[in-house]
Amino acid sequence: MNTNCMSRYLSILTLFIVFFASYANALELTGNVYTELEYTNNSALDSTQTQDDVSQNLGLDLNVLENRKSIQASANFRVEGEKYYNDSFSDRASLSAGFGLFNLDLIDSFLNWQTSFTRTEVLTDASDTNTPDNREYRNILRTGPTISYQYSSTSLLALNVNYVGVENSEEDASDTQRVNGLLNFRYLFNPMTKFSINSAYQEILGIDSGSDSDENYEVIKLSVGLVRRFFLGDFQFNLGRTRLTPDQSDATESNYFDVQLNRDQLFRHDVSLTYLEDISDTSIGFESDEEGADQQSDSQRSTSGSDVIKRKRIDLSATRVFGNTNYTINGFWENESFVVLDRGEKSVGFSLGINQNLSQRLISEFEYRYEINDFVGQAELGKDKESTYRVGGVYRLSADMRVNGFTRFSSRYNSQNMNREYEEFAVGFGFVWSFL
């Protein structure tokens, strides 16, 4: 593990943002202080050894945005402390979520340098229960130049080279240093249609892990793309091939599909449909994970060991606002498999969320989620069926302060393995103060 190294990277990025933002006249700064108290009758989500506990989160959100011609900088940091009063889990304090972006135009419309830092949460064991003891963090730092050449008013050629540092908090997980190179040609056919040809090369420069079986990888990706805009929507399509070559075993290839369709006011709903098919190594995951894409499944991938993961995923969402009420329906299907471990997981699920403005100050909330997880190659785990009901509300005390409360019931059933079953009832209250 190279924790000090990643902490140093984050400190340097923060100094960059603060230094350049001090000269800016368009700096936007916002911040929140929040706390939440939650009681649960089954803190470990266990079938038999249930334990009551009261947990409290106390945190600080700080958001910085600077946008001008030559400098674009943003930062979103969350420092959070979590305490368990009945000691079902260890207390912790950490930078639980954060995203930073710093972009400097060195030569206008030709050369710029971009740096970003993302921090996401993953499960140490993807087949285990989502509790604090099974959660780890993944830090990803990207930095490097981009050269853009405007061949004509309709054609653009761009070359991007990045150093990427990946750190996982799990001791046995793979921490990597890699270099990325992307070459992109874009052609604007008309104001509504854009074509692209893309190539990407990635190589791991070094790997740090407690496991002797970790491998270095070389990744090559070629694709063509189309963006088509139309009235009240757009269609984006990328098709290609990805080849991932470990240094000690056979190469793995996969089709690359990244398709997205957005349509507003379709049968009075705003609809979004996406499909992804690709491969990656487990130490860094997929770009959609890094970008924080909204996913229904809580079964984020394991950080332990070094493996090749294949993913196929479909997401569909529909949102409607009418009067004082809005609701969102989400559905997903996902098939993931590990090449070396020769196992995987098939998941399907949906959720429904409804919010209603009962008054200018009071908002009611309702959410229902249902998910089925089938563990391929692990017959002893069976098939999990999980459901969650949540009822809550938010009340604004003032323009800067609000309180919230909720009641939640969660359950998991498994007809083949009763040890994986559990039921949980929880209730919580929170307070948020926007001080900037």
pLDDT tens digit string along 262-319?
999 999 999 999 999 999 988 888 877 776 544 444 445 566 567 888 999 999 999 9
Give the DSSP per-residue string, 255-284: EEEEEEEEEEEETTEEEEEEEEEEEEETTT
Where residue 400 sits, what CATH number does that domain have?
A: 2.40.170
**d(Cα 115, Cα 120) in Å, to the nearest integer?**
17
Name the domain count of the chain.
1
Q: Above 60 in pLDDT, residue 325?
A: yes
What is the bridge-based pairing of β-strands 111-123 and 92-107?
Answer: antiparallel
Q: Which amino acid is at 22?
A: S
Weakest mean pLDDT among 48-52, 101-105, 188-192, 265-269: 101-105
Residue spans of beta strands (DSSP E) within 191-268: 193-208, 217-230, 233-246, 252-266
**Residue 14 — very low, low, confident or very high, per pLDDT cuts 50/70/90?**
low
**Interval 357-413: pLDDT, tens:** 999 999 999 999 999 999 988 888 989 999 999 999 999 999 999 999 999 999 999
Q: Residue 324 in contact with residue 355, Cβ under 8 Å? A: no
3-state secondary structure labels for all residues of 312-346 = EEEEEEEEEEECCEEEEEEEEEEEEEECCCCEEEE
**d(Cα 222, Cα 226) in Å, to the nearest integer?**
14
The pLDDT assigned to 100 comes to: 62
SS3 label, residue 17: helix
Per-residue tokens: 341: 């471990």
Q: What domain range is 382 assigned to?
A: 3-434
Residues 6+ apart with CB under 8 A from 182: 158, 159, 160, 161, 162, 198, 199, 200, 201
The pLDDT assigned to 302 comes to: 62
**d(Cα 370, Cα 366) in Å, to the nearest integer?**
14
Residues 6+ apart with CB under 8 A from 18: none
Q: How far is CA 115 from CA 35, 359, 411, in A?
A: 31, 43, 42
